[in-house]
A and B are shown apart, each in its own frame.
Chain A
Amino acid sequence: MEKRVTVKSEREEYRLFRSRAYVAALIVLIALSLVFARLVFLQMNQFEHFTALSKENYQKRIPIPPVRGLIYDRNGVVLADNHIEYVLEAAEDDVKDMPETLSRLMQLLPISLQEVNKYKQKLRVNSRFLPVVLRKNLTEKEIAIFSANRSRFPGFRVSVRVQRNYPLGSLASHLIGYVGRIDKRDLKNFNESEKINYNGTTHIGKSGIEKQYESRLHGQAGYELTEVDAHGKPQLKLDEKAPITGEDLFLSIDIELQIKAEQILAEHNGAAVAIDPRNGEVLAMASMPTYDPNLFVNGISYANYNALRDNIDNPLYNRALQGSYPPGSTIKPMAAISGLNSGVVTPTSSVYGKGYYQIPGNKRKFRCWKKVGHSHISLNRAIYQSCDVYFYDLAFRMGIKRYSKAMARFGFGLRTGIDLPHESKALMPTAEWKRKRFDKFWYPGDTVNSGIGQGFFTATPLQLAHATAIMANRGRQYRPHVLRATRVSRNLPKKLVTPEKLPSVGVTKLRYWDDVVRGMINVVHGEHGTARASAAGAKYRYAGKTGTAQVFGIAQNKEYDASKLKKKLHDHSLFVAFAPIENPRIALAIIAENAGGGSKVAAPLARQLLDTYLLTPQQKEELMASDDSSKSDSSPSLMNINKLREAVETKRRLKTQALINNSNNNSNNGTKSKTIIRPVQ
């Protein structure tokens, strides 16, 4: 090792420093270049990424929910609209001294301590920049008082909220359905674009038309792009897109007929469906009892819901669409067509009705409703006198396979495909079905029972009405539908929905239709028709068929009291009809549960419906004048719909109010009676 130089050399030290300084300068350059490279990476390569992140930071997209489309009946009567409500609200950040301001507000307006406490609670939960509602449902007077004093309450303001409203209350509630708050299940079903579109929406269609046409009624959400700071406080508006209001829907329902249908069924449970056979438009679809859809809009209370759910009459159940009833004799016209087509009967062939029917080689007797029998009976009489033996024989000779297939042509056992959710297909039984369902053989006796619409055979009132419409149309058929027209904007013309034509029901000889329809005409107009009494004095000619369905085997809740249980075992009363014969404009099916014979109950009710739809206003007035015993509501016109509705409402309320034993928020009832039904052009 060299010996260290101990003498300080200024020159050497300068040189040493200089070389170190050069190295340092180089290191500085390299280090700063590395940092700069990082900046190039951030500001050039990642520019777009960070721009997006920056925007995500400060741009807040506030969704503006669209106004939901309205629902009208075919004549423009409002069935569902949007109720405007004025609320008093303020964000915590906008009010300087909240407790003091609140106490002054309480002196000015009748605000309860409860409301104030609820408000304070919400303030704690929400963002300090988000307005929170202090008082709902401001009256005009309250708004006026507040507006005059608003300068004393900086931060507080009156704003408008929109809420779905069903002005007719329980009327056609199963059909119209209702909206409710969007829940977790709805959110799960949303796709990506729906998630964005529903961002600001609170309610969604939960049943009926409201659910079926949700996408049309909802509209397109708009948005407001706002700049916010790190604390979420809005700074300024950057962009805005107005929402597009949902489409207005015009249903094919004739509200007058609907009211009448609900009114005549008010005493019974049951359903009525009327279809225009010329295009499949549903003119009325009633299911009784009903419920008030307004209860559901802002979340039904447990007490109200339990009362509806536990009601033995099951008001939430749409009988017209989901009720599977044994159709009884009402299917005999369709069975007759099936028999004629298959050749097992002819228009003139006859059967000897001895009061009961026995399958060859079997002792079991299938009784006819007429114990003494109809003696020699042919097709026409078999229909108008509703001979069971004739149809036992017909079905037996066809066999269940052929019979089922033929009846399915009329829509039995199939969904009609109506534009409403949760339709039942009821049951047109087959041997295979029975084997699968019960693991049992199909017995010939099962076939025989199916021939008179009993046994396993069930149908919904909608299916019956649809099958009757096919009869009225001589085989031509349209898919039943409720939506008649839509309107994108109030200024634009309505767009009619094109009826969907379905494959016609074919017959081997065209005259078969006339042969069967003649039987149906004789049911009401014939000397011995089962429904001749109900047709007395009719201003038009119509065709129909009575039905009396035995109730059996339906599992009923055993806890019901004895009198009710007994009632539940009574026969269902059914009637199908179409009118006028020459050019049918209406086909209907009506079922009154446990009401007795079809000719006694359902047929007169059906007559009232036909009168309501077919008679001119003058004819109705004449009818009213000549028939004093029946009150004014037996002949409704658009003028007194309100009165009628109230009558139905009262009946319903008396019935359900007894069950709903709570006196809370039924404030809707008061406002409802004030609602004006306004027809629109």
Chain B
Amino acid sequence: MNLKNSSGFSSYIFRWLASLDLVLLVALALLIALGTMILFSASGENMNMMNKHTIHLILATIVMLVATQLSSDLLRRWSFWIYIFGVAVLVLVLVQGTMGKGAQRWLEIGSLRFQPSEVMKLAVPMMVASYLSKKSLPPSFKDVFVACMLVLVPMLLIVKQPDLGTSLLVGCAGFFVIYFAGLPWKWLGATIAALAIAAPLVFYFGMHDYQRQRVLTLFDPAADRLGSGYHIIQSTIAIGSGGFYGKGWLNGDQSRLDFLPERHTDFIFAVFGEEFGLLGNAILFVLYLFIIWRGLYLAMKGHDTFARLLGGSLSLTFFIYLLVNTGMVSGILPVVGVPLPLISYGGTSLVTLMAAFGLLMGLRRRKRGYDQNT
């Protein structure tokens, strides 16, 4: 390329643009456009909320663009400190929470509120990837054990908040790194078997009442029609009544008339299904599937093992978001507070996710700048 030798700012901008994955970018833009549309409807055409959403989008885009510039070397070097910082803050929040009352997920620094558990969604896979990439793969038993510990500590801290949804996502993010590192299938099988046995025990002894209720509700939503079953009943009605073509944008009766709770956050998928129908859902799912696969593809193209492990984990975590949210809203998974990625209203989740995609795009490079082609 003839611009390659031109020096100065313009060449820097060009290289920077070239480092972006345009295919993924277009897919993300389409998804966000679709999401903004449905959020407008779900918010009850609330301009105030849309303005905030726009600010979130701008912020998330900036964070993403910055993240693209972080090379895998840099990330690997930072991962340990970010992880330690994250765990420290989680402990701090927990202590603060014990002294206060009830759930404490937020850390307030001046007027800025931020959710430390959200950072762990990135910090944990980075830490585990950084640890395992130094080892020879597939990992030994000891390596897997240490990696598991690295995952479990923040998981438990987050569960204590209590925030089961985020904890599961953090756990998944860490686990996926181990999986991509080459966790032997036998061990994977054994773990799944162990989980299957442990599940009832966790259900009876390890869960809060409200969490247990959510699981029970899944099997019989009608048992608690006005309580925890209400969400599932109303969301399945919304989706089901959408039919093949949907009721049309801004025409979802369930959402418009306030029957659907949490309709602009965790249950926004029901609004989508109601207004755009099965056809819209098919488009949405294809878009999501494409983004996940593209993420896995980008991970494969990663510069080194660390980059690949982190990229694979981030892509699959994104998938878990989608699976848990749509599964919950359509009534086949228990109600867990997981948003529909990139669509549900909420700045923190949006920024974290876009940061993750930024990282994914930057994984191909070793250092900042133009040496990615080696």
Q: Are B322 and A43 in contact (CB under 8 A)?
A: no
Task: Say yes or no for B164: interface residue by CB 8 A criterion.
Answer: no
Q: Are A39 and B330 in contact (CB under 8 A)?
A: yes
Task: Say yes or no for A230: interface residue by CB 8 A criterion.
Answer: yes
B243 proximity list for chain A (CB < 8 A) = 43-44, 47, 51
Task: Say yes or no for A442: interface residue by CB 8 A criterion.
Answer: no
Write the chain A residue with the least CB distance to B313.
Answer: A24
- With A18-B300, A21-B312, A46-B240 as given contacts, are A35 and B326 in contact (CB-CB < 8 Å)? yes
Q: Are A17 and B312 in contact (CB under 8 A)?
A: yes
Q: Are A43 and B242 in contact (CB under 8 A)?
A: yes
B239 proximity list for chain A (CB < 8 A) = 39, 42-43, 50
**Assembly CA distance A47 to B241 (angstroms):** 5
A17 in complex: contacting residue of B180, B257, B323, CB < 8 Å: B180
Q: Are A54 and B278 in contact (CB under 8 A)?
A: no
- With A32-B289, A44-B278 as given contacts, are A51 and B259 in contact (CB-CB < 8 Å)? no
Task: Say yes or no for B146: interface residue by CB 8 A criterion.
Answer: no
- With A6-B136, A43-B277, A54-B254 as given contacts, are A21 and B237 in contact (CB-CB < 8 Å)? no
Which residues of chain B from 235 to 255 have any CB-CB distance to chain A below 8 Å in the complex? 236-244, 253-254
A12 CB to closest chain B CB, in angstroms? 8
Q: Are B282 and A13 in contact (CB under 8 A)?
A: no
A54 in complex: contacting residue of B137, B241, B244, B292, CB < 8 Å: B241
Give the secondary structure class of A's interface.
helix
Task: Say yes or no for A81: interface residue by CB 8 A criterion.
Answer: no
Q: Are B305 and A35 in contact (CB under 8 A)?
A: no
Task: Say yes or no for A40: interface residue by CB 8 A criterion.
Answer: yes
Q: Map CB proximity to A onto B50-68 as digits: 1 under 8 Å, 0 otherwise.
A: 0000000000000000000
Q: Are A4 and B136 in contact (CB under 8 A)?
A: yes
B236 in complex: contacting residue of A50, A57, A235, CB < 8 Å: A50
Task: Say yes or no for A365: interface residue by CB 8 A criterion.
Answer: no
Task: Say yes or no for B281: interface residue by CB 8 A criterion.
Answer: yes
Task: Say yes or no for B332: interface residue by CB 8 A criterion.
Answer: yes
**Assembly CA distance A52 to B138 (angstroms):** 55
B281 proximity list for chain A (CB < 8 A) = 36, 39, 43
Sort chain A's interface into a size bin.
35 or more
Task: Say yes or no for A49: interface residue by CB 8 A criterion.
Answer: yes
Q: Are B257 and A229 in contact (CB under 8 A)?
A: yes
Task: Say yes or no for A8: interface residue by CB 8 A criterion.
Answer: yes
Task: Say yes or no for A104: interface residue by CB 8 A criterion.
Answer: no
Task: Say yes or no for B119: interface residue by CB 8 A criterion.
Answer: no
Which residues of chain A from 3 to 23 have any CB-CB distance to chain B below 8 Å in the complex? 4-10, 12-14, 16-18, 20-21
Task: Say yes or no for A148: interface residue by CB 8 A criterion.
Answer: no
- With A29-B289, A36-B281, A50-B239 as given contacts, are A43 and B179 in contact (CB-CB < 8 Å)? no
A116 CB to closest chain B CB, in angstroms? 32
Write the chain A residue with the least CB distance to B247.
Answer: A54
A25 proximity list for chain B (CB < 8 A) = 292-293, 296
Give the secondary structure class of B's interface.
helix
A5 proximity list for chain B (CB < 8 A) = 136
B227 proximity list for chain A (CB < 8 A) = none
Q: Are A14 and B308 in contact (CB under 8 A)?
A: yes
B296 CB to closest chain A CB, in angstroms? 5
Q: Are B136 and A7 in contact (CB under 8 A)?
A: yes
**Assembly CA distance A14 to B181 (angstroms):** 10
Q: Are B244 and A43 in contact (CB under 8 A)?
A: yes
B299 in complex: contacting residue of A7, A21, A34, A50, CB < 8 Å: A21
- With A21-B300, A57-B237 as given contacts, are A28 and B305 in contact (CB-CB < 8 Å)? no
**Assembly CA distance A35 to B138 (angstroms):** 32
Task: Say yes or no for B319: interface residue by CB 8 A criterion.
Answer: yes
A38 CB to closest chain B CB, in angstroms? 5
Task: Say yes or no for A160: interface residue by CB 8 A criterion.
Answer: no
Task: Say yes or no for B327: interface residue by CB 8 A criterion.
Answer: yes
A230 proximity list for chain B (CB < 8 A) = 257-259
Which residues of chain B from 88 to 109 have any CB-CB distance to chain A below 8 Å in the complex? none
A36 proximity list for chain B (CB < 8 A) = 281-282, 285
A8 proximity list for chain B (CB < 8 A) = 135-137, 305
Task: Say yes or no for B140: interface residue by CB 8 A criterion.
Answer: yes
B85 CB to closest chain A CB, in angstroms? 28
Q: Map CB proximity to B onto A594-608 as digits: 1 under 8 Å, 0 otherwise.
A: 000000000000000
**Assembly CA distance A384 to B21 (angstroms):** 123
Q: Map CB proximity to A onto B307-332 as digits: 1 under 8 Å, 0 otherwise.
A: 01100100110010011001100111
B80 proximity list for chain A (CB < 8 A) = none
Q: Are B293 and A28 in contact (CB under 8 A)?
A: yes
A228 CB to closest chain B CB, in angstroms? 7
Q: Are A54 and B237 in contact (CB under 8 A)?
A: yes
**Assembly CA distance A17 to B138 (angstroms):** 10
A39 proximity list for chain B (CB < 8 A) = 239, 273, 278, 281, 326, 330
Q: Are A17 and B278 in contact (CB under 8 A)?
A: no
Q: Map CB proximity to A onto B203-246 as digits: 1 under 8 Å, 0 otherwise.
A: 00000000000000000000000000000001011111111100
Write the chain A residue with the least CB distance to B323.
Answer: A31
Task: Say yes or no for B288: interface residue by CB 8 A criterion.
Answer: yes
Q: Map CB proximity to B onto A126-152 as digits: 1 under 8 Å, 0 otherwise.
A: 000000000000000000000000000
Q: Are B257 and A51 in contact (CB under 8 A)?
A: no
- Which of B140, B240, B277, B282: most chain A Cβ within 10 A? B240
Q: Are B182 and A20 in contact (CB under 8 A)?
A: yes
**Assembly CA distance A272 to B339 (angstroms):** 83
Q: Map CB proximity to A onto B255-271 as digits: 1 under 8 Å, 0 otherwise.
A: 00111000000000000
**Assembly CA distance A50 to B273 (angstroms):** 13
**Assembly CA distance A4 to B139 (angstroms):** 10
A485 CB to closest chain B CB, in angstroms? 49
B62 CB to closest chain A CB, in angstroms? 29
Q: Are B241 and A16 in contact (CB under 8 A)?
A: no
- With A36-B282, A235-B257 as given contacts, are A28 and B332 in contact (CB-CB < 8 Å)? no
A50 proximity list for chain B (CB < 8 A) = 236-237, 239-241
**Assembly CA distance A36 to B282 (angstroms):** 8
Task: Say yes or no for A53: interface residue by CB 8 A criterion.
Answer: yes
**Assembly CA distance A17 to B179 (angstroms):** 9
A35 in complex: contacting residue of B182, B292, B309, B323, CB < 8 Å: B323
**Assembly CA distance A248 to B296 (angstroms):** 80
B309 CB to closest chain A CB, in angstroms? 7
Which residues of chain A from 45 to 85 have any CB-CB distance to chain B below 8 Å in the complex? 46-47, 49-51, 53-54, 57-58
Q: Are A32 and B288 in contact (CB under 8 A)?
A: yes
**Assembly CA distance A40 to B279 (angstroms):** 10
Write the chain B residue with the least CB distance to A36.
Answer: B285
B327 proximity list for chain A (CB < 8 A) = 35, 38
20 pairs, CB–CB < 8 Å, chain A vs chain B: A4-B136, A12-B137, A14-B300, A17-B180, A17-B305, A24-B179, A25-B293, A28-B293, A31-B323, A32-B285, A32-B323, A35-B330, A39-B278, A42-B239, A51-B243, A53-B240, A53-B241, A54-B254, A230-B258, A231-B258
Q: Report B's interface with A, CB cutoff 8 A.
A: 135-138, 140, 176, 179-180, 182, 234, 236-244, 253-254, 257-259, 273, 277-278, 281-282, 285, 288-289, 292-293, 296, 299-300, 304-305, 308-309, 312, 315-316, 319, 322-323, 326-327, 330-332
* Known contacts A13-B308, A24-B316, A231-B258; 19 further A-B pairs (Cβ under 8 A): A5-B136, A8-B137, A10-B304, A14-B305, A17-B305, A20-B312, A21-B299, A24-B176, A24-B312, A28-B316, A32-B323, A38-B330, A42-B239, A43-B277, A47-B243, A49-B240, A51-B241, A54-B238, A235-B257
Q: Across chains A and B, which 8 residue pairs bring their CB atoms closest together, nearest first?
A: A50-B240, A54-B241, A230-B258, A229-B257, A42-B240, A43-B278, A50-B241, A230-B259
